[in-house]
Structure 1
Amino acid sequence: MQIKKVKITNFRTLSDNEFDFDSLTAFIGPNGAGKSTILYALDWFFNGGATPLEETDATYGSEDKPIEVRVTFDQLTSRDRKILGKYTPADSEEFTAWKISHRGETKLSANIKGNPLFDGVKSAATAKEKKALYKELREEHPELGLSDASTAGAIMDSLTLWEQQNPDLLEPISSDISTFFNGFSGDNTLKQLFNFAFVKADYRASEESEDNRATLLNLIIERTLNRKEADEKIQELFQTIQEQEQEIYDQTFGEQLDTLSNQLNQIINTYSLSRSVAVTPNAQELKPSKTNFKVSVKDGAHDTPVDHQGHGFQRLLLISALQLLAESTNANTEEQDNGTLCLAIEEPELYQHPVQAKAFAHILDSLSGKKNKHMQVMYVTHSPYFIPAYKYESIYRLTRKNRSNPTVSVGHADPSVVAKRLRKAGCKSDIEARYGLTLVQNLSTGLFANVVILVEGSSDEAILSSLSESHYDAELDRRGVAIISCGGKDSICFFHAILEQFDIPAVVVFDNDRGWESRFNQKYENNTKLDAEEIEIRRDNEAKSHIKSNRALVSFFGISNECNEADYPAPRCYEIDKQHYVFVVDDTLEPFLARNWEGWMDECNDAVTSLGVSNKKNAQTYAIATQKADFAKCPEFLQNVIRTAIKLHTDNPS
């Protein structure tokens, strides 16, 4: 089985948040937003035992309220159902459990909550009474859609199934009805089905390399080796040693101890005739320890302790252990089923060389991508390498709002919503095919930004980046503003729709291409290969392409009413809302700057000469020209793009 959904209530920064999980789930966002809190909440749910949480673990101002973590599982196997028993009726596709900490008491149960209407039926003393109450319940509440059950067992299955399918409608029920399905002693039911391996950012590899309870090495050993045979043989050996020890004592001290005992008894008998004593060897019981393992590092010809290695190697050891653990889980069979393994990693990129981080990201993606119900991966990351490109619906972006009383805001991209929004505006419809590649190449960096400036191409990106670095003291970088090239005008809507889903403020810059025809005429002015009719066909197609692109953008951003000419929207800034602005450039950026920034084109031509390039429309030449041109003459329009992005960050702090 796998985690399908988690709801966390009143735990640290997460006052009331719900998350859907996939085979791989990534959490991103600024520091302190609450990403790691999700993993810590799950670690408490699975590995925290009966230890109650502290008041300080509650959300600020809600210390008197219960802390609750609700986990819903799906993809149940027949083995899962067998172990969970009555908590998973035959028709149930899911299983939900709660863990609640309140006033020093912790409860973990699959039925700690329920429908109060069911209490009477559940607590009925006899089958006859249960049937009568169930019949009455169905008649009075037909909206519940309860099945026509005729036996006491079928009635309980029907009630359980309804509660499993409607967790949001349940309320706490009386303690005499609920039970600890798992308990904190005896058989740990959940551990048989689901192992949550959490690697925290501050974990030491030396500690995880010891064969202690819940360490990575221990998990690997339990899933790959059977200690029982060795333990039994060692027990037999110790028993033999104990018997041999007694023989040695008898041979060495036997007659001497008999003599000593007789001498002592002769004296005792002068005082008391009713008792006697015996002096014998006090053989200590030899108890063998359980088979235990350790990891050491072979550094050349020497064995060295793990904690003598650098942070990078120690983290690499943890990563390797995780990979081995995952591979052993994927090898589960019906005969040897160790349940599901969930790898939860806080900052998997930590201490890793970029090449190694990229490789590890690929490994995690590959492990979770296997069609295997026994493997699940989740992590918190600050690295674009770990953005799951083709599982975009599995990315959650967390931010904190309202500094006086912080709340967590969660951004999440729903592909169907993105697709619907784009198609409505008349944008290109091959969304699913382009989505993953887009994230890999460009957008992954933007998802980590506080504000994004979207531009058409690399030359536009070079101009704005150079302007920020040279004349704004790199303020965009310091504020976490990313400039993203969309790889063409037609992709702007696509990028923006995704950023909007993740609640990332954006400034959009695009050309209205009003002067396209003059460039077209210049291109075909001396053409001798094409006849006039073919040129006119191309002219008509290009006109339609520019108009279609402009109309799609105008429609997407909802500025049709503000544009006097929808085919070529007026060049200016359009405020879409408090988080999104659109700057329309008159024609394209190069002629705009040539007309409006005195000296910029001269610097551009000088850069072409000094670099020895044939085409001046080049990101590097544009960046140099922007850096060297007189900033005092820089157009306000261009500067306002930078200023607007800075203002967006100021107005929407993370």
Structure 2
Amino acid sequence: MFIQKLEIKNFRSIKELTIEPKNLCALIGPNSVGKTNILRALDLVIGEGWTTKAKIARELFLDTTKPIIIEVSFVSPITFTNKRGYEVSVSSVKLEMTLEPELSAKTTINGDNTFYDQEQFKKLCHFIFITSERQLTSELRVSQWTMLGKLMRLVYENYVAQNSGNEQDLKNKFAEKIKPAKDFLEDDFSEDEVTFKKFVNAFKKYCKENSAGLANEFEPVLDIYNLNWFYKTLQIHVKENFPDRHFDSEEVGAGMQNLLLVSIFQTYAELMGGNVIFGIEEPEIYLYPQAQRALYKNFIKLSKNTQIFYTTHNPNFVDGGRPDDIVLLRKDIDHGTYLLEKDDAFNAENAEKQKHKIYTHFNPERNELFFARKALLVEGDSDKILFSTLCENKWNINLDEKGISIIECGGKGGVFYFLGVCRLIGFDNYFAVWDKDEDLENTGLLDEAKNNSKGIELDPNLESVLKITDGDNAEKVKNAYEWAMNSNNNVPEVFDKVKNFLEGEEPQNISEDIINPDDIPF
């Protein structure tokens, strides 16, 4: 059960947006761009509860005079037999809400048909939203609203089903099995101290006295050994080797609680695969880099059977070799939240053909390209440290504050490669710097960047322009840094274009020519 298309209109920051997600869908963009709004839209349509007029609020509407429309279409219809014995097939679910002229909330299926079988549908398809504001303590408890509670309820129902569906017979068997432990715990072990036996006897005595005059006599049953309650009272404890102690999950720190919650999510996805769609914000929270990479790999594995939407600001949760997973988002006054349109060549098929080249070009640091508001593409480490130091020491440009990444591309060929990647992913806020001294068979994208004032070529190389000595990579880095730190050195005029790009919002002039995938090996 996977979503094929999600259409959202007039919801929060979204004027009109269509996403065709893959099994794993990474929603990437700056803060407040609208990533969470996409997950909230899904939650309204196929979340655990149905949206009624009680959930309508003015802040949900981008334009209060227009309706909110959110429609989810599935890859394959969700089919079931309803309580009346009819076959039901759900290909799409649509929610429409209005604020004016009157409050209304209506959920329909398959092109505005009335939806009568919502509860049965939710058992086969529901969306679980894990927000960045983790409700860690409550999520680690068993209740009807938590993943842990849903799993325990399913365990219980399956247990009953294996006993021919006779719940009472199963409880009787359980009572017989538990009797030795019950007798041991309920033993009146002291004449003076309060025991469970004394509590039961006293409580029953007063219930009997207070029930005088009732039409029917009653007797309370204090049953702490009900089969179902064993699952409901499940508690998670954490054992640490040093010191050798056990801790209740509510007593450990937020990092450990988040690890437990993520583990519950993974367990739920594995056991309930095909019946649930997940939305999770910032899965990287509280996790070390190694754990982040492990979780991302697990996302990929789980997505074979369970669709996962997630937002992230972490390069460990994207892979240039899985381009179809990546959804880049931006927002402006005219369009609201919108997608950066990817070139058709940016797809899984071409990525598979070039997976080894992608492996050599992409790493977590270069993955910052997917998260940057602006990107400065440079050949190597000496270029990167030069411009980073100039920004800090002479240009007074805070790169991190402005969301700018300087991407070290691994040579002139790498700059060419990442220029193509920018074009493929629809990212146009970039500038490139490269040396003239290395010959490439194909310089088309470099020439285009230079002609469109989106790049400069240093003749013949950086060291000559700065008039510093050449050397190995470490020596180049040292010389470039010391040159940038020297207050007596004047910045070459050729770098003014770099400074202007980093400082301002220059009009972007991008060629509309179709890219030949053979020219951009991605």
User: Which band: TM-score by shorter chain?
Assistant: 0.7 to 0.9
Instruction: Indicate the residue corresponding to 1:67 in structure 2.
Output: 68
Matches within 5 A, 1:139-150: none
1:629 matches 2:486: yes
Deviations 1:602-643 (A, max 9, x none): xx58xxxxxxxx736745323433333345522121243123
The question of whether the paired residues in 1 share the 8 Å contact of 2:130 and 2:280 is answered with yes
Residue 512 of structure 1: CA displacement?
2.6
Distance 1:482 1:4 in 2: 33
Change (3 A) 1:5 1:482: same
Q: Quick one: which of 191, 198, 203 aligns to 2:134?
A: 203
Q: Which has the higher contact order (CA 8 A, sep 6+)?
A: 2
Matches within 5 A, 1:73-472: 73-76=74-77, 80-83=78-81, 88=89, 95-102=91-98, 103-113=102-112, 178-183=113-118, 188-224=119-155, 226=158, 228=160, 232=168, 236=172, 281-283=217-219, 290-291=228-229, 292-299=232-239, 304-329=247-272, 339-368=274-303, 370=304, 374-402=305-333, 407-416=336-345, 434-435=357-358, 438-440=361-363, 442-472=365-395
For the residue of structure 2 that corresponds to 1:479, the secondary structure is: coil
Instruction: Indicate the residue corresponding to 1:44 in structure 2.
Output: 44
Residue 227 of structure 1: CA displacement?
5.0
Change (3 A) 1:616 1:345: closer
Distance 2:239 2:451 in 1: 63
The question of whether the paired residues in 1 share the 8 Å contact of 2:284 and 2:314 is answered with yes
Instruction: Indicate the residue corresponding to 2:518 in structure 1.
Output: none
Distance 2:474 2:16 in 1: 51
Q: Quick one: which of 55, 58, 70 aligns to 1:56?
A: 58
The question of whether the paired residues in 1 share the 8 Å contact of 2:91 and 2:110 is answered with no
The question of whether the paired residues in 2 share the 8 Å contact of 1:471 and 1:631 is answered with no
Larger proportion of helix: 1
* Amino acid across the alignment from 1:475: N
Instruction: Indicate the residue corresponding to 2:6 in structure 1.
Output: 6
The question of whether the paired residues in 1 share the 8 Å contact of 2:280 and 2:310 is answered with yes
Q: Quick one: which of 408, 429, 432 aligns to 1:508?
A: 432
Change (3 A) 1:237 1:51: farther
Distance 1:419 1:43 in 2: 28
Gaps of 5+ in 2: 180-200, 510-522
For the residue of structure 2 that corresponds to 1:308, the secondary structure is: coil
Deviations 1:247-271 (A, max 9, x none): xx9xxx9xxx9xxx9xxxxxxxxxx
For the residue of structure 2 that corresponds to 1:25, the secondary structure is: strand
Residue 39 of structure 1: CA displacement?
0.8
For the residue of structure 2 that corresponds to 1:198, the secondary structure is: strand
Matches within 5 A, 1:452-601: 452-500=375-423, 501-513=425-437, 545-546=439-440, 548-551=441-444, 553-554=446-447, 556-557=448-449, 574-576=451-453, 581-594=454-467, 601=468
Change (3 A) 1:496 1:457: same
TM-score, scaled to structure 1? 0.62
* Amino acid across the alignment from 2:312: T
Distance 1:192 1:278 in 2: 43
Residue 384 of structure 1: CA displacement?
0.6
* Amino acid across the alignment from 2:95: K
* Amino acid across the alignment from 2:297: H
Two-structure CA RMSD over aligned residues (Å): 3.9
Residue 9 of structure 1: CA displacement?
1.4
The question of whether the paired residues in 1 share the 8 Å contact of 2:428 and 2:508 is answered with no
The question of whether the paired residues in 2 share the 8 Å contact of 1:462 and 1:622 is answered with no
For the residue of structure 1 that corresponds to 2:79, the secondary structure is: helix
Residue 431 of structure 1: CA displacement?
5.0
Residue 86 of structure 1: CA displacement?
5.8
Gaps of 5+ in 1: 89-93, 114-177, 242-248, 262-276, 331-338, 423-428, 517-544, 558-572, 595-600, 606-613
Deviations 1:181-212 (A, max 9, x none): 434xxxx2322322322211112222112221
For the residue of structure 2 that corresponds to 1:349, the secondary structure is: coil
* Amino acid across the alignment from 1:49: W
Larger radius of gyration: 1
Residue 347 of structure 1: CA displacement?
0.7
Change (3 A) 1:508 1:624: closer
Distance 2:314 2:342 in 1: 18
Distance 2:129 2:398 in 1: 37
Residue 239 of structure 1: CA displacement?
11
Distance 1:497 1:419 in 2: 16
For the residue of structure 1 that corresponds to 2:114, the secondary structure is: coil
Change (3 A) 1:74 1:190: same
Distance 1:619 1:194 in 2: 58
Distance 2:455 2:412 in 1: 13
Change (3 A) 1:302 1:433: closer
Distance 1:419 1:306 in 2: 41
TM-score, scaled to structure 2? 0.76
Distance 1:32 1:72 in 2: 26
Residue 493 of structure 1: CA displacement?
3.6
